[in-house]
Amino acid sequence: MRVINILSIGFVYFVLASAELINEDVNRVIDLRSHLVKVTTTVTLRNRGGPVSEFKFIVDPTHNKQLAHISFTQADDEGKVLKKVSSGSDDKLFTVSLPSKLENDGTFRFTAEEVYANALSPFPKEITQSQNQLMVYRGNHFYYSPYKSDSQSTAVELPSKTVESFTKFGNPEKEETTIKYEGTKDFDNVPPNSQNSMKIHFENNNPFLTVSQLTRVVEVSHWGNIAVEESIDVRHTGAKLKGSFSRYDYQRMPNSGAASVKSFKTILPAAASDVYYRDEIGNISTSNLLKTDDSVEFEIRPRYPLFGGWKTFYYFGYNLPSYVHIFIRGDLHALKMRFVDHVMDDQMIEDFTLKIILPEGAKNIKLDTPYPAERLPDQLHHTYLDTVGRPVIIVRKSNLVEQHIEDFVLSYNFNRMLLLQEPLLISAAFFLLFFTVLIIVRLDFSIAYDQASEAKMRVQGVIEQVQALQARREKCYEAYEAAVSKYKASKDHTTFVNTRKSIEKDHKEATNNIQQLVMKVREDAIDTADKVGNLNHIDGTLRDKYSSMMQLAEKLISKKVSRDQYVDQSGKLNKSIDDLKEKASETVDNLLV
């Protein structure tokens, strides 16, 4: 395999040579301050041949397997990103197109930014709690390029002043935390594809955290909320802890466990609210949340400090308002969110899965990722008030670093009327519940015929009817009184007679109805029948009283009695009427008892 690789690279070189590009000046910065190796190379290209529209870039073969990210920008013009096409067998050879054709003797400056993960190896592999963590970086003294380089310079930036050893090729200078390989003639006129192994053994106590797996679930609700949950497997990939972990030393000694990680910061979107932080066994109480204007800083402290070789798992989630991320035109919706978000500084995610749960009924789903990613088959997710299930879009990608924090766009069609489905479903469920209770309570499902309770229910019904009829009669009483007083005022005899007749007719009808009911109820409840009979008796007396009262009024109008006599007699009548009325209402109230 390796032979073929070398052959193919050689072949590439042969083809490229005709373009006759050379690297006039190469400036390389190797940043070893974190657990990632970041190489920034600024190159001035000069064309010594015919016009070219692209150039080649080969990732240094010493660690091309660890490449996590690469990008090319134009060095002069506000860092315009250059388009790259990978043309090698395993993404290690890139063809970068130039913004405009490069004529003979023209120059072009570009910057290549490469990030390598796992390019540092701990040495010694295991340390005790009190030791510092030492790392070895193996690289290339030269800028690896298919073109000849006129001059090169390399600066290696280290996290601290402590360096165990570094290769002395070309008399490097060490100033504070930087080692510079430059200036000597070793770095002039370097032929293409030169390699010279560089080795730096240095102290690095920065967090060596790698996210083994991250699953990001975005659940969209059109009621205005987007819920995000990320479950994260983290492990410490630095030098392994040897021997025991002493809490005493860790708490009291200042330099104990220098390479361990106590906490780190996750930056959440500014609109994030209701943040939670848990794991398989419950809430993790050791965390802090700091809200700033443009973000929410979430300080995550795992349950225990992470030493080399230790790992942990946790998940956290938050809510976002949907108006920030969902764009709507008619039925067409577009969700624009970060594909992967910030987990920690200098993050490295080995295996990343993004799941987007759309509302029920979303159709024509189209996903646009900022970089190629593997789309897995869609799934269905069932949760509260779902019927057919919500579509889930799943995307996977490996080896993601900070530079991958970019937005994806997911467009889909969604009929907003479907929002009504959930409230309707709840209403229907409650309706069904109440209806069932209604049926069970109101209908009689017993096989046996219960005479007593049947009778009781019948009596109940009759009593309710009697009460209604009695109310009607009470209205009649009032009508009598009103008619009398009206007659006294207007002295219109014919109207009075007519009114009286109609009231009496009404009264009689009610009384007859009650009489019929009494007949009915007599079989079931004799005492109720008696009570109603009593009521009728009172009513009869009342009617007599009213009729004599009306006669009295007629007499008054036709001057058969004097005013004083009338006042005296009607007063007596009124008193007995009031007593009777009260008795009647008492009887009605007592009907049920």
In the complex, which residues of this chain contact other proteins (CB under 8 A)? 243-248, 252, 279-286, 303-304, 309-313, 382-387, 460, 471, 592-593
| Nearest residue (CB) to other proteins, 142 versus 477 | 477
Nearest to 483 by CA among 494, 498, 499, 502: 499
Nearest to 269 by CA among 231, 226, 302, 234: 226
Q: Which amino acid is at 442?
A: R
How many angstroms separate the CA atoms of 233 and 216, rounded?
12
| Nearest residue (CB) to other proteins, 387 versus 574 | 387
Nearest to 319 by CA among 284, 359, 268: 268
Strand segments (E) across 141-208: 148-157, 163-166, 173-175, 178-181, 188-190, 197-203
How many angstroms separate the CA atoms of 209 and 261, rounded?
8
Question: Which tokens hold the place of 343?
Answer: 């987990």
Instruction: Give least dist CB 279 to other proteins, A.
Output: 7
| Nearest residue (CB) to other proteins, 500 versus 531 | 531
How many angstroms separate the CA atoms of 289 and 171, rounded?
49
| Nearest residue (CB) to other proteins, 69 versus 236 | 236
Instruction: Give least dist CB 385 to other proteins, A.
Output: 7
Instruction: Give least dist CB 240 to other proteins, A.
Output: 11
CA angle, 411 as apex, 321 and 232 as ends, to 5°?
60
Question: Which tokens hold the place of 208?
Answer: 């060596």
Instruction: Give least dist CB 428 to other proteins, A.
Output: 13
Instruction: Give least dist CB 464 to other proteins, A.
Output: 9
Query: Strand pairing partners for 46?
Result: 22, 107
Instruction: Give least dist CB 456 to other proteins, A.
Output: 10
- Measured in whole angstroms, the distance separating CA 283 from the mean position of its chain's CA atoms is 18
Instruction: Give least dist CB 126 to other proteins, A.
Output: 14
| Nearest residue (CB) to other proteins, 19 versus 284 | 284
- Measured in whole angstroms, the distance separating CA 472 from the mean position of its chain's CA atoms is 62
Residue 114 contacts residue 67 (beta carbons within 8 Å): yes
| Nearest residue (CB) to other proteins, 219 versus 346 | 219
User: DSSP code of 261?
Assistant: B
Residue 382's contacts (CB-CB under 8 Å, 6 or more residues apart) are 389, 390
- b/e burial code for range 66-84 (CB count within 10 A of at least 16 → b): bbbbbebbbbeeeeeebeb
| Nearest residue (CB) to other proteins, 248 versus 445 | 248
Residue 96 contacts residue 87 (beta carbons within 8 Å): no
How many angstroms separate the CA atoms of 110 and 97, rounded?
11
| Nearest residue (CB) to other proteins, 41 versus 129 | 129
How many angstroms separate the CA atoms of 536 and 543, rounded?
10
- Measured in whole angstroms, the distance separating CA 371 from the mean position of its chain's CA atoms is 24
Instruction: Give least dist CB 387 to other proteins, A.
Output: 8
Tell me the three state secondary structure of residue 248: helix
| Nearest residue (CB) to other proteins, 471 versus 567 | 471
| Nearest residue (CB) to other proteins, 18 versus 283 | 283
CA angle, 476 as apex, 473 and 480 as ends, to 5°?
145
Q: How many C-beta atoms lie closer than 10 Å to residue 19's C-beta?
A: 19
| Nearest residue (CB) to other proteins, 73 versus 460 | 460
How many angstroms separate the CA atoms of 17 and 11, rounded?
10
Instruction: Give least dist CB 327 to other proteins, A.
Output: 29
| Nearest residue (CB) to other proteins, 4 versus 452 | 452
End-to-end CA distance of the chain: 103
Instruction: Give least dist CB 283 to other proteins, A.
Output: 4
Instruction: Give least dist CB 302 to other proteins, A.
Output: 9
Instruction: Give least dist CB 220 to other proteins, A.
Output: 17
